[in-house]
Amino acid sequence: MDAPGTRIAGKYELVEVAGSGGMATVWRAVQHGSAGFQRPVAIKRIKEHVAQESSFVRMFVEEARVCAQLVHPNIVQVHDFGDEGGRYFLVMEWIDGLSLAQFLQIADELDTFAVWPLVAAVAIEALRGLEAAHDRVDEEGNPAPVFHRDVTPHNILLGKNGLVKLTDFGLARAMDRARITEPNVIKGKVGYLAPEMTKARQPTAQTDIYALGVVLWQALAGAPLFAGHDNIEIFLKASRGEVPPVAEPRPDVPQRFANIVERALARDPVDRFESAQQMRRVIANMLWDRDIRPEAAFLGRCVTQVCHYRDHGTMPPPSQRPGPQGRE
């Protein structure tokens, strides 16, 4: 059984659990090498009870294959992949920070909203990662896009260094492969599904754009776009795709940015942005026209402040916070 201090493959020492899902556990770990070499890494290891389930194993192996080919600053990078004791493990770069989900949870605890320029900055960087995945080509130079299919606040990581990274491509569909999941089976968290995906349609760039739109709406509003007592109620709301205007929960957000988020959330895919690149450029132009230049240092300070609260339970005075603003 995995525990702090356990070494995998003789060189990856588990430190503490960073996250756990139904299929795998993610550990903060340390890679050991010659002459005292060390570096922090993340180890994602398939759980024992699913290690013999072929469908889960195929998804895990596919995640490793896909991520190894997505080399980009806004995608969590894969360093190694192996099998020990009949269980696969994935070695990835460690992001010193927190997920967007954790950031928003702490903002809620503090009764604050994330300032909209920060949300826009996160969107731009996440879109860079999606753009790289959607524009992927195979070894022969042929288009082989990867659609994430699970863009959620939990899968957008914010580093203290100001970098934003997409992670968890466990449900990703690489279009250079035959279908590896069952046909007509819906994949992904129901509250972030594009309306067409509730009918088990094929994923596209527009389905990832829609999911990011849900994330942005939630980040601005401080509450889920589609909420319900259970997944069935949430699923039905997502399938209808009825989106309240951003201005209802956040009248302070510029209408131009609200329009961008709402376009990403258009019920019909053809009414959304054509690509992640197009959406990224529209957001960047909006910020540029308002003379806003969100740099990595700004985002890094916000993340560092929130991480300090997470770890110590204290925040600096509101006047010194670069991140959230008080709710109106």
Catalogue the active-site residues.
Answer: 150
Would you give the distance in Å from CA 37 to the centre of its chain? 30
DSSP state of 8: E
The type of residue at 319 is S
Pull the structure tokens for residue 315.
């925040």
3-state secondary structure of 186: coil
Copy the structure tokens of residue 56. Answer: 């889960």
- Backbone φ and ψ of 301, nearest 5°: -65, -40
Please give the Cα distance from 272 to 178 (Å, whole number).
Answer: 27
CA distance 112 to 178: 46
Which residue type occupies 190? V
Contact partners, residue 264, CB within 8 Å, separation at least 6:
209, 210, 212, 213, 216, 272, 273, 279
Contact (CB, 8 A) for 282 and 273: yes
**Whose structure tokens read 């201090």?**
5
Q: Residue 51 class from Cβ within 10 Å (0-12 exposed, 13-18 middle, 19+ buried)? A: middle
CA atoms within 13 A on the CB side of 126: 30
Contact, 107 vs 324, CB < 8 A? Answer: yes
Do the Cβ atoms of 133 and 157 come closer than 8 Å? Answer: no
